[in-house]
Chain A
Amino acid sequence: MNRPQALCYKIKWGPDTGPPRYDHNNMTFEQQILQYLITGVTVGSIYALIGMGFNIIYNSTEIINFAQGEFVMLGGLLTVSGMQLLHLPVPFAAILAIVGVSLIGITLDRAAIRPPKDPSPITLIIITIGASIFIRGMSSLIWGKEPYPIPAFSGEEPIPFFGAVIQPQSVWVMGVALIVVLSLRQFFGRTLTGKAMMASAVQPRAAKLVGIEASYMVLLSFALSGAVGAAAGIVIAPMSMVQYDMGVMMGLKGFCAAIIGGIGHPLGVVFGGVILGIVESLGAGLISSGYKDAIAFVILLLMLFFRPQGILGKTKGERV
């Protein structure tokens, strides 16, 4: 009623001017596609990094930690504090932040995850939701509500790449994601502690019989997941800035990456994240930036309907 003229609009699925084909600003259609892909892989790597945090805790507890996004936010904000209050250079502030968030992860486990007796998965989910609300509330008091910048690790001079550009920070994001996923694979697949962590989730009782202290493994997973989350927050901060409420969206996207890839699957999460990132960015570039998240989720839902256990997830036998 208030805007009657609006009724005459048609639903437009594309840009007002038709497909952007002419290269007035010296960018061909192919170069644009390349640029979308680069952005997609960058953003996807962040989702993957956050998804890995979900995986670590899932692998040793089968809990979905809804406070994972807050680890990301804390990593960024603690780095800011390290730089501003202690005047540390970025690498040291970053290390300090990673250690700090690991400790927060440990505290979360000790104070909230461990105490309830015989909890159901949903109880633990609500606990992590409560924790994320608590952490966000406290952070808004400590750091305020304004966003903070972190300087790019190696400058902001873009790297030309076949007519498109790569931000130096993108290289860092992809590099860190790759290093973290490879180390985690190594850790869970090759080291005794890693294997013990997996074992205590899949068969807690059997694990106990062979002398694995389950509660220690859970503690370790929260510390590790805090560290990975913090690393994600630090490496993305120069691009997206850090703000007390960034964790919700980050956690959501990371969760999706983990699920798409098949929760708990170490390599799946990378596929999940990168696919999510690319679908989002191609959707925004070729169809509509307003609908980009919807496009991404529609495709993800279709994938789930055809592969209900995630892309790389294994079909589990139904337990009776």
Chain B
Amino acid sequence: MSIERMGKIGGKFLLLTIMVTMVAMLSVSCAKKAKTPEEYKIGAIFASTGPASMLGLPEKNTAEMLEKSINEGGGINGTKVKLVFYDTGGDATKTVTATKKLIEKDMVDIIIGPTTSGNSLAIIDVVEEAQIPLISAAASVRIIQPVKTWVFKTPQTDVMAVEKIYEKLQKDGVKKIAIITVSNGFGDSGRVQLKNLASKYGLTIVADERYGGKDTDMTVQLTKIKGTDAEAIIAWGTNPGPAVIAKNRKQLGITIPLYNSHGVASKKFIELAGDSSEGTYLPAGKLLIVDQLADTDPQKKVLSEYKWDYEASFNSPANTFGGHAYDAFWIAVKAFENALKNNREPTKEAIRDEIEKLQGFVGTGGIFNFSPEDHNGLTKEGFVLVKIEGGDWTLAE
């Protein structure tokens, strides 16, 4: 049988075999060695690219910064910490794949992340089945309610953000509100909570508008709101959408107050919206107004340290999202330490138990008190309501 007689399909098949084998061999050669006991492995999955990268990138940076600083300080009881990071791109499939990679290939002890609520929900089944602790950095309350054995999260839930705004509205005697939310996981989660909690604060939603994350103009939605008898507007999204809303609101001459979500809790929003941001409100983590906090505030020290370290390392302003990763990383480290303190081998199970028992941990998002019923450990006091005045935030309480 001579070589040129290889039939058409046969030839193609041979080619395919060669290529698939090559891919397989590459995978084999890429496979990393098994876990060494001399280091504790923390897996991290954040959306450092893609639509949520404005949140994910500071989270990744923060985790890397902490890995470095903790190891420089001698690690956890002398054992080095190793961070294994994968980018999710904000994509559910990629997140699941990355999680499995962390569990099966890198054999990490604990996972922090992912960035978005949708991605966190996507991997809950995976981590529950693999029995590995997860500390999510995403907002949605659905991640921890109902309570899952292995799943925790650091950011204040969107419920708390909504309550902070609604408290103020109730105090101001507002009865009718208009909401405008972005069509993605963040906006949707906010929209659900805004609707659920409205009646509790005696509020009626008279307009429920949506916008696309890349829309160029929101005058249509705002015109519609202008035609209703709403007494306040609540916008739920991340930059640049809310900045466009703020501008359009001013141009349309709408005078009722505008409340934003914690999604725009960064200087960027003020820069983008300019004058139009004046007089608007938003709930934010205390990181934003650390300079205005009283010296007696228990969080002040942690917040100023984080802010200073981050800004010195990356030359860009620290934001709340990086803070979520900061809290998650430290909670993981604390859990290792406490397990060792209690003379327990820091297995996944021991780490999980220690997180659940962690009390009074002062983080950037608030003071965490975990319990078997509460895998977030924060109260709405982690948020402050701020008003934008003179291009800066001031406490509005």
A90–B215 alpha-carbon span in the complex (Å): 24
Given A158-B251, A241-B243, also A140-B228 (CB < 8 A): no
Interface contacts beyond A156-B250, A156-B276: sample of 17 additional A-B pairs, CB < 8 Å, sorted by A: A17-B207, A17-B228, A24-B229, A25-B255, A35-B252, A140-B53, A144-B316, A145-B54, A148-B272, A164-B223, A167-B251, A240-B216, A240-B240, A241-B239, A285-B224, A288-B210, A290-B183
Q: Tell me which residues across on chain B come within 8 A of A43, comparing CB atoms.
A: 216-217
Give chain A nearest CB distance to B276 CB in angstroms: 8
Give chain B nearest CB distance to A68 CB in angstroms: 15
Q: Which of the candidate stretches A178-186, A187-195, A220-228, A243-251 sits at the interface with the other chain?
A: A243-251
A153–B142 alpha-carbon span in the complex (Å): 45
Within 8 Å of chain A (Cβ to Cβ): is B221?
yes
Give chain B nearest CB distance to A242 CB in angstroms: 9
Q: Tell me which residues across on chain A come within 8 A of B209, comparing CB atoms.
A: 289
A147–B272 alpha-carbon span in the complex (Å): 8
Given A39-B217, A145-B57, A241-B243, also A32-B272 (CB < 8 A): no
Contact A241 B240 (CB under 8 A): yes
List chain B positions with a Cβ less than 8 A from chain A: 49, 51, 53-54, 57, 142, 180, 183, 205-212, 214-217, 219-221, 223-224, 226-229, 239-240, 243-244, 247, 250-256, 268, 271-272, 274-276, 316
Contact A249 B214 (CB under 8 A): yes
In the complex, what residue of chain A is closest to B275 when comparing beta carbons?
A156
> Could you show 18 A-B contacts with beta carbons less than 8 Å apart?
A2-B142, A16-B207, A22-B228, A25-B226, A32-B223, A32-B224, A38-B219, A43-B217, A145-B54, A147-B239, A149-B274, A239-B216, A241-B239, A281-B220, A284-B220, A285-B221, A285-B223, A288-B210
A16–B178 alpha-carbon span in the complex (Å): 11
Within 8 Å of chain B (Cβ to Cβ): is A98?
no
Contact B220 A25 (CB under 8 A): no
Give chain B nearest CB distance to A297 CB in angstroms: 13
A293–B214 alpha-carbon span in the complex (Å): 12
Q: Tell me which residues across on chain A come within 8 A of B276, comparing CB atoms.
A: 156
A29, A46, A147: which contacts B227 (Cβ < 8 A)?
Answer: A29
Given A15-B208, A240-B216, also A35-B223 (CB < 8 A): yes
Q: Tell me which residues across on chain B come within 8 A of A299, comparing CB atoms.
A: none
A148–B240 alpha-carbon span in the complex (Å): 9
A288–B255 alpha-carbon span in the complex (Å): 24
Residue of A25, A36, A43 with most partner-chain B CB within 10 A: A25
Give chain A nearest CB distance to B181 CB in angstroms: 9
A36, A145, A293: which contacts B212 (Cβ < 8 A)?
Answer: A293
List chain A positions with a Cβ less than 8 A from chain B: 2, 15-17, 20-25, 27, 29, 32, 35-36, 38-39, 42-43, 46, 140, 144-149, 151, 156, 158, 164-165, 167, 236, 239-241, 243, 245-246, 248-250, 281, 284-285, 288-290, 292-293
Contact A284 B205 (CB under 8 A): no
A15, A27, A147: which contacts B240 (Cβ < 8 A)?
Answer: A147
Give chain B nearest CB distance to A158 CB in angstroms: 4
A39–B214 alpha-carbon span in the complex (Å): 16
Residue of A17, A38, A156, A165 with most partner-chain B CB within 10 A: A17
Q: Tell me which residues across on chain A come within 8 A of B255, comparing CB atoms.
A: 25
In the complex, what residue of chain A is closest to B228 when comparing beta carbons?
A20
Residue of B212, B214, B252 with most partner-chain A CB within 10 A: B214
Q: Tell me which residues across on chain B come within 8 A of A239, comparing CB atoms.
A: 216-217, 244, 247
Q: Tell me which residues across on chain B come within 8 A of A24, comparing CB atoms.
A: 227-229
B53, B208, B252: which contacts A165 (Cβ < 8 A)?
Answer: B252
Contact B268 A285 (CB under 8 A): no
User: Interface SS of chain B: helix, strand, loop or mixed?
Assistant: mixed
Contact A165 B251 (CB under 8 A): yes
Give chain B nearest CB distance to A44 CB in angstroms: 11
Contact A15 B183 (CB under 8 A): no
Q: Tell me which residues across on chain A come within 8 A of B207, comparing CB atoms.
A: 15-17, 20
Contact A146 B239 (CB under 8 A): yes
Q: Tell me which residues across on chain A come within 8 A of B205, comparing CB atoms.
A: 16
A20–B226 alpha-carbon span in the complex (Å): 9
B57, B215, B227, B253: which contacts A158 (Cβ < 8 A)?
Answer: B253
Q: Tell me which residues across on chain A come within 8 A of B227, comparing CB atoms.
A: 20-25, 27, 29, 32
Q: Tell me which residues across on chain B come within 8 A of A158, comparing CB atoms.
A: 251-253
Q: Tell me which residues across on chain B come within 8 A of A240, comparing CB atoms.
A: 215-217, 240, 244
In the complex, what residue of chain A is closest to B212 when comparing beta carbons?
A293
A149–B247 alpha-carbon span in the complex (Å): 12
A43–B51 alpha-carbon span in the complex (Å): 22
Contact B223 A243 (CB under 8 A): no
A159–B247 alpha-carbon span in the complex (Å): 14
Cβ-closest 6 pairs across A and B: A20-B227, A240-B216, A241-B240, A290-B210, A249-B214, A24-B229
Given A16-B207, A145-B53, also A22-B229 (CB < 8 A): yes
Q: Tell me which residues across on chain A come within 8 A of B53, comparing CB atoms.
A: 140, 145
In the complex, what residue of chain A is closest to B208 when comparing beta carbons?
A16
In the complex, what residue of chain A is closest to B211 when comparing beta carbons?
A289
Residue of A29, A245, A293 with most partner-chain B CB within 10 A: A245
Give chain A nearest CB distance to B228 CB in angstroms: 5
Q: Tell me which residues across on chain B come within 8 A of A17, comparing CB atoms.
A: 206-207, 228
A21, A23, A36, A236: which contacts B220 (Cβ < 8 A)?
Answer: A36
In the complex, what residue of chain B is closest to A244 when comparing beta carbons?
B53
Contact A27 B223 (CB under 8 A): yes
A36, A140, A241: which contacts B272 (Cβ < 8 A)?
Answer: A241
A21–B224 alpha-carbon span in the complex (Å): 10
Give chain A nearest CB distance to B175 CB in angstroms: 13
Give chain B nearest CB distance to A113 CB in angstroms: 27
Given A17-B206, A149-B272, A241-B272, also A36-B223 (CB < 8 A): yes
Residue of A16, A241, A243, A250 with most partner-chain B CB within 10 A: A241
A245–B211 alpha-carbon span in the complex (Å): 17
Q: Tell me which residues across on chain A come within 8 A of B275, comparing CB atoms.
A: 156
Contact A39 B224 (CB under 8 A): no
A89–B258 alpha-carbon span in the complex (Å): 32
Q: Tell me which residues across on chain B come within 8 A of A16, comparing CB atoms.
A: 205-208
Q: Tell me which residues across on chain A come within 8 A of B271, comparing CB atoms.
A: 149
Q: Tell me which residues across on chain A come within 8 A of B226, comparing CB atoms.
A: 25, 27, 32
Q: Tell me which residues across on chain B come within 8 A of A246, comparing CB atoms.
A: 214
Q: Tell me which residues across on chain B come within 8 A of A250, comparing CB atoms.
A: 214
